[in-house]
Amino acid sequence: MIKNTPISGYVSTGFEPVQEAFEANFEEDKELGAGFSAIIDGELVVDLHGGWADRKREHQWAGETIVPVYSTTKPIAALVLASVIGGLPAGYETLVVDIWPEFGFAGKDGVTIAELVSHQAGLAGFKDPIDPALWLDPPAMAVALAALEPLWEPGTAHGYHPLSWGYLIGEVVQRIAGRSLGSILREDIAGPAGIDFQIGTPEQDHSRIAEIMRPRALPDLGEINEATRAAFLTKWASADRGGAIWREIEIPSANGIGTSKAVAELYGIYANGGQLNGKQIISERSFEALTQSRVKGQDLILPFETEFAAGVMRNNLGVYGPNPDTLCHSGWGGSLALGDPDRHLSAAYVMNRQSNSLQGDPRATRLVQALYGCL
The CATH number of the domain holding residue 118 is 3.40.710.10
The DSSP annotation for 71-107 comes to GGGHHHHHHHHHHHGGGSTTGGGSBHHHH-GGGGGGG
Rounded distance, CA 184 to CA 201, Å? Answer: 14
CA atoms of 270 and 288, how far apart (whole Å): 10
Within-domain flag for 177: yes
- The per-residue pLDDT for range 251-299, each reduced to its tens digit, is 999 999 999 999 999 999 999 999 999 999 999 999 999 999 999 999 9
Helix extents (H) in the chain: 16-27, 74-84, 96-99, 113-117, 138-146, 164-177, 181-184, 191-193, 226-228, 244-248, 260-271, 284-291, 362-373
CA angle 340, 43, 364 (to 5 degrees): 50
Output the pLDDT for position 243. Answer: 86
Asked if the structure places residue 266 within a domain, the reply is yes
- Is 254 among the domain residues? yes
For 220, the domain range is: 66-327+334-352
Which pLDDT does position 2 carry in this prediction? 56
Residue 140 falls within a domain, yes or no?
A: yes
> Considering the domain boundaries, does residue 251 fall inside one?
yes
* Whole-number pLDDT of residue 23: 96
CA nearest to 143, candidates 112, 167, 165: 167
Any domain includes 1: no
pLDDT value of position 33: 98
| Domain presence at residue 133 | yes
Write down the pTM of the prediction: 0.97
What whole-number distance in Å separates Cα of residue 275 and Cα of residue 55? 38
Q: Which residue stretches of 1-95 are H helix?
A: 16-27, 74-84
State the distance between the two ends of the chain, measured CA to CA, in whole angstroms. 27
Alpha helices in 158-303 (DSSP H): 164-177, 181-184, 191-193, 226-228, 244-248, 260-271, 284-291
Which neighbouring-strand residues pair with 279? 276
- On whether residue 200 sits in a domain, the answer given is yes
Residues of the chain scoring pLDDT < 50:
none
Q: Which residues contact 342 (CB under 8 A, 6 or more apart)?
A: 323, 325
Domain count across the chain:
1
pLDDT in the model for residue 178: 98
Residue 344 confidence (pLDDT): 98
